[in-house]
Structure 1
């Protein structure tokens, strides 16, 4: 995935109200950027951190800047949760996720379950369906170990239950964790942050939901999901 225009650098002043971030740009001007990330962003919102923003040319947008990347722990980390579905789609089409290949068609945001939409629906020539849910990951509390989630996610637990329902109906279902940072080669669940999600995850795996993780190369011109990440989940 390439950014459509060069990113604009600056320093983070603060992230607040979840979806807002005040940034001082390199030219000294101050702007408020949209932060498309509903999580806690633990470890990724320190004032003074170097950040990079995209600039929209849409005249109808109230906030023209969007926060895309932060430098943390010596690495570039993608924080925009609007990108993971596209990144996983590209990885699937390139055959980078072992176990999720050989599909004939790929559709996004397809209605299923109880008033939900699956992130990606894969179908074979014979019509067999694989329901794929994508979760963004960027929490790192131990070197090399990514963790999910970074805050309580009742919605995430609901999705796991719906994936299990698809397996019970005779379909395949998979959870793909997209790690938007290049410095992690392992992934685990943050059960201390959300034990309910950890329990729902264990139940979903026992029901036959498949799990995968893929890591990203994060650059200032784009982001690509290219590396397998080892799941360290009991």
Structure 2
């Protein structure tokens, strides 16, 4: 991943990377099948186990029988039906993090280290900020300025282009509209698309899967909402923000232009 270079007193530079968010001890396994939206079966140590899928997306290109996976085991004695949480899937020679709950922590860790290109100087003041009927992931501050920040977890990449969402998201569209209204009133608003894999060169709102969300993105951006996208460095040990990639808005998609 690209690293930031900082000068030292002796004139040499030191490389600084965004700090990783650790996964803890993950168990290796093989994906068997998806039971429903939030449950799947995985072979762990040769035994079929039911696991939680912490992602509401379709994940069709990732969750294929036989795919190598990593599972975060449930705590001992936990009162739950599943043996753990599906965390990583091996796809096209790289690890993809399918746990969308880690996205906010990854962005917050990078902001805390001053390693978020395009958001220089912003720091996290608070998490889970409620505005009207909606809740946003982060409240950011820079000098006396405040910004609402929403983080979107992205896993779908096609031909080097990340696409969000991979299933319709009424909540995401509502977030965009609320942030757009805030920006038009002079407030600061940011949406960070965290691509939880390293192999994307750009991000495009998925106008075929969710044309309303794509339209809301274009309207929000024209009103002053900052749209930022970042890839991640992913290993079985942890996940970290890697590099910024462009957000390409374009226009309404033609039906059938993307699967």
TM-score by length of 2: 0.84
Q: Which residue of 1 aligns with 2:10?
A: none
Partner residue in 1 for 2:22: 2
Give 5+ residue unaligned stretches, structure 2.
1-20, 251-259
Alignment equivalent of 2:98, drawn from 51, 76, 79: 79
Taking the aligned partners of 1:67 and 1:226, their CA distance within structure 2 comes to 22
- Given that 2:154 and 2:196 are in contact with CA atoms closer than 8 Å, whether structure 1 keeps it comes out as yes
Q: Which has the larger Rg?
A: 2
- Displaced runs of 4 or more, over 6 A: none
- Greater CA deviation, 39-48 or 90-99? 90-99
**Does the aligned pair in 1 maintain the 2:139–2:146 contact within 8 Å?**
yes
2:33: which partner in 1? 14
Q: How does 1:205-224 map to 2 (within 5 A)?
A: 205-224=221-240
- In structure 2, the CA distance between the partners of 1:104 and 1:181, relative to structure 1 (3 Å rule), is closer
Decide whether the 8 Å contact of 2:217 with 2:249 is kept in 1.
Answer: no
Q: What does residue 110 of structure 1 align with? A: 129
What is the number of equivalent residue pairs in this alignment? Answer: 229
Contact 2:32 2:65 in 1 (8 A): yes
Distance (whole Å) between structure 1 residues aligned to residue 143 and residue 202 of structure 2: 34
Aligned-pair CA distance for 1:230: 2.2
Unaligned runs of 5+ residues in structure 1 are none
How far 1:169 sits from its partner (Å)?
Answer: 3.3
CA contact (8 A) 2:189 2:225 kept: yes
Partner residue in 2 for 1:185: 201
Q: Deviations over 1:76-99 (max 9, x none)?
A: 100001110001111112222233
Q: How does 1:13-162 map to 2 (within 5 A)?
A: 13-25=32-44, 27-57=45-75, 59-62=77-80, 63-103=82-122, 105-112=124-131, 114-126=132-144, 128-142=145-159, 144-162=160-178
Is the contact made by 2:71 and 2:88 (CA closer than 8 Å) also made in structure 1? yes
Gap change, CA 1:160 and 1:104, over 3 Å in 2: closer
Measured on the aligned residues, the alpha-carbon RMSD in Å equals 1.5
Match of 1:231 in 2: 247
Q: Is residue 172 of structure 1 aligned with residue 188 of structure 2?
A: yes
Alignment partners' CA distance in 1, 2:245 and 2:153: 13
Question: Offset at 1:75?
Answer: 1.1
CA distance in 2, matches of 1:152, 1:103: 30
Do the aligned residues in 2 keep the contact of 1:96 with 1:226 (CA within 8 Å)? no
